């Protein structure tokens, strides 16, 4: 019984020491950057400048456009059965147009509800889109 407790204590000490010293080594390898780099479709279009510059209190507008974009694109992949980069990551124009036509004058809570709807749509298409995109190497 004493040997088991000793071994547990020793294992806990070793784990604690390894967790203590590991981040110091990992920090040296990190290079901070503001650039976003993607392994899949690295040439995807950047978000619209107004979305990137939106005040924090209105971030729900940016989130809604992102949710519209994601749902539209996953549904398009499934609809046409193609997951090339232009299909999976087109320009933001269609998502922005949908936002401006249907939601731009809505209240915050209405935009949050719309975001939920687009998230449900995207999640419904996700499994089928993932299979298509995996086959194309674009997931």
From the list 93, 87, 106, 90, the residue with the least C-alpha distance to 50 is 93
Are the C-beta atoms of residues 117 and 73 closer than 8 Å to each other?
no
Rounded Cα distance, 125 and 78, in Å = 7
3-class DSSP state of 62:
helix
Per-residue pLDDT of the chain (139 residues; tens, 9 = 90+): 555 666 666 566 565 655 555 555 555 666 666 667 788 999 999 999 999 999 999 999 999 999 999 999 999 999 999 999 999 999 999 999 999 999 999 999 999 999 999 999 999 999 999 999 999 999 9
Report pTM.
0.74
Question: Tokens 């729900």 identify what position?
Answer: 60
Rounded Cα distance, 76 and 69, in Å = 11
Rounded Cα distance, 47 and 138, in Å = 19
């Amino acid at each position: 019984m004493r040997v088991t407790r000793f071994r547990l204590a020793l294992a806990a000490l070793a784990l604690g020491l390894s967790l203590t010293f590991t981040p110091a080594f990992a920090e040296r390898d990190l290079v901070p950057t503001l650039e976003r780099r993607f392994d899949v479709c690295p040439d995807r279009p950047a978000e619209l400048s107004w979305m990137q510059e939106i005040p924090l209190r209105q971030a729900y507008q940016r989130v809604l456009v992102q949710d519209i974009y994601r749902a539209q694109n996953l549904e398009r992949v499934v609809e046409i059965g193609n997951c090339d980069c232009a299909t999976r990551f087109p320009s933001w124009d269609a998502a922005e147009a949908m936002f401006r036509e249907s939601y731009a004058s809505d209240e915050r809570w209405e935009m949050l509800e719309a975001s939920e709807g687009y998230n449900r749509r995207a999640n419904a298409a996700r499994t089928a889109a993932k299979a298509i995109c995996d086959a194309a190497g674009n997931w």
